[in-house]
Amino acid sequence: MSINVVQINSGDLIGRRFNGYDLKPHLEGHGVHSSQLVYWNKQSDADFVSKAFDYPGNRIVTRGLTRVESRFSLHARLHPHSWALPYHTKVREADIAHLHIIHDGYFSLSALPFFSYRKPTIWTWHDPWPMTGHCIYPLQCQRWMQGCGSCPDLSLPFPMRKDRTAEQFAWKRKVYEKTKAEIVVASDWMRNMAARSPLAENFNVTVIPFGLDLERYKPADKAAARARLGVFPGRPVVFLRASSTPFKGLKEFVTAVERLDPDIRLCIISLQETGHFDRFIGKHQIIEFGWSNDENLLVDAYAACDFFAMPSLAEAFGMMAIEAMACARPVISFEGTSLPGISFAPDAGLSVPYGDSDALARVMERLVLNPVDCEERGKLSRVLAERHYDIRDQARLTADLYKRILSQDKRSGSVV
């Protein structure tokens, strides 16, 4: 049985490890031929990647409508070309459409019922936005379980000028009631959230963890990696993604570093943003790479570190956590997100109370002062990555889902 699937997302190479791009060759072994349809960020010249809505001036129209949405505190509602998506050649040729991130400014959710009744549809929820009235992550707010309204923080992405969260929530409910789709999430944390969400009650939810090429992400020589990166001899090394978004816990991590035992001298390796650790220059060694798509650099950073810090205040899965685990590095995180489960805390990873910088400092000290324990946790992390995060397993589970969806769907693979 051969199945043709079109993966629909805003980009191809950005997010390639979770949007189906890296999964393609592994799906082929299960009889699944996968193509990609992208909107904002087509970077690959691969013949299986195509643009959606590729007409003159389409981006001008999209940006204009996005500004109108922002002005009126709406999101993912006003893009009329979404109704044309079922007629795109790649969608017409596919047996199944697999939607990924469709809420970042180019698609109208109102078109979902029209789309899903014309093509068997799977939609991966990469974050909780489909279950809220406006935000990508509700943090500690519980109003998403009650219909939203009276939002405590309209500044969270996607921000609103006026509180229309109850209206947006009700609109999503009506859209979903008419939508025929299978929902995929990558973590038990997301599945548990969906189980409590009024907006998910009409959907079947399947958990398929993301996976990695474990021959690419694997333990490597620590000393050699440190030499390549210029780490000072004898320094304990922590690696993290430094992002000032409200969900990544950078402020809490910086506070934790400030509260470390004064005798500890770290090397802090960071990816994405720079300048956040300038206050520590002279005490801790700071190695900042800014934003980079250099996978060799990323693998070196994992090899060089003793442990990986992912102090997110909200995280639906945590791709960098499993990358660190695959490279035999334990992950430290906050409770209340998916990360303790993903990193198998407290056996392999370590988690501390939500937002508690003092506790984060103490767990960092624990790993620095107990290198044997840190090393053993890293070894177990690799074993668990092999058991749970192999991309070949992700491909098998995904192919099984495609086959089940087709076996249950009575429509042909063409637009009706």
Residue that the structure tokens 């960020």 belong to = 41
- Of 60-64, 130-134, 289-293, 409-413, the one with minimum mean pLDDT is 409-413
Task: Output the CA angle 174-180-181, nearest 5 degrees.
Answer: 110
Statement to judge: residues 162 and 231 lie in one domain: no
Nearest-Å Rg of the Cα atoms of the chain is: 22
What's the first-to-final CA gap in the chain, in angstroms? 22
- Flag whether 128 is in a domain: yes
What is the identity of the amino acid at 377? Answer: R
- Per-residue pLDDT tens over the stretch 196-240: 999 999 999 999 999 999 999 999 999 999 999 999 999 999 999
Residues 205 and 231 occupy one common structural domain: no
CATH code where residue 71 lies: 3.40.50
Domain that holds residue 279: 222-388
Q: Are 86 and 115 in contact (CB under 8 A)?
A: yes
Any domain includes 196: yes
Query: What are the phi and psi torsion angles at 6 (to 5°)?
Result: -110, 125
Nearest Cα to Cα of residue 29 among 395, 413, 415 = 395
Residue 411's pLDDT is 59
What is the tens place of the pLDDT at every residue in 139-193?
A: 999 999 999 999 999 999 999 999 999 999 999 999 999 999 999 999 999 999 9
Rounded Cα distance, 119 and 99, in Å: 11
**What is the C-alpha to C-alpha distance for residues 168 and 152, in angstroms, rounded to an integer?**
15
Residue 217 lies inside a defined structural domain of this protein: no
381 shares its domain with 396: no
Residues 381 and 237 in one domain: yes
> What secondary structure letter does DSSP report for 216?
T
Report residue 72's pLDDT band, with 50, 70 and 90 as the boundaries. Answer: very high
* 400 and 384 inside one domain: no
Residue 106 sits in the same domain as residue 34: yes
Asked if residue 400 and residue 331 are part of one domain, the reply reads no
Average pLDDT over residues 123-134: 98
In the chain, DSSP finds a helix count (H) and a strand count (E) of 14, 13
- Taking the C-alpha atoms of residue 310 and residue 323, their distance in angstroms, rounded to an integer, is 12
The type of residue at 149 is G
Please indicate, yes or no, whether residues 233 and 112 belong to a single structural domain of this protein.
no
d(CA 416, CA 412) in angstroms, rounded, equals 8
Asked whether residue 320 is domain-assigned, the answer is yes
Quote the percentage of the chain above a pLDDT of 90: 92
Tokens read off for 262: 């004064």
For 356, other C-beta atoms within 10 Å of its C-beta total 17
What is the distance of C-alpha 270 from the center of its chain? 19
Are residues 153 and 135 in contact, defined by beta-carbon separation less than 8 angstroms?
Answer: yes
d(CA 174, CA 31): 36
Residue 413 lies in a domain: no
Average pLDDT over residues 381-392: 98
How far apart are the C-alpha atoms of 54 and 312, rounded to whole Å? Answer: 36
Q: Phi-psi category of 252—alpha, beta or left, where left has phi over 0 and alpha has psi -120 to 50?
A: alpha
Measured distance CA(414)–CA(416) in Å, rounded: 6
In a domain, 337, yes or no: yes
Same-domain check for residues 183 and 276: no
Q: State whether 175 and 235 are in the same domain.
A: no
Count the neighbouring beta carbons within 10 Å of the beta carbon of residue 112. 23
Can you spell out the DSSP letters for 289-350? --S---HHHHHHHHHH-SEEEE--SS-SS-HHHHHHHHTT--EEEETTSSHHHHTTTTTSSE
DSSP code of residue 206: E
Same structural domain for residues 178 and 239?
no
The CATH number that applies at residue 251 is 3.40.50.2000
Residues 206 and 98 in one domain: yes
Residue 102 and residue 11 in contact, taking contact as beta carbons nearer than 8 Å? no
pLDDT band at 256 (very low <50, low <70, confident <90, very high): very high
Is 104 a domain residue? Answer: yes
Residue with tokens 């009235």: 133
414 pLDDT more than 80: no
The continuous run of DSSP H or E covering 386 comes out as: helix 371-388
What pTM, to 2 d.p., does this model score?
0.95
- CA distance linking residue 300 with residue 298, whole number of Å: 5
Q: Is residue 338 part of a domain?
A: yes
Domain count, the chain: 2
Tell me the angle at which helices 319-326 and 371-388 cross, rounded to the nearest 10 degrees: 110
How far are the Cα atoms of 127, 141, 240, 243, 255 from residue 247, in angstroms, in the given order? Answer: 12, 13, 14, 9, 16
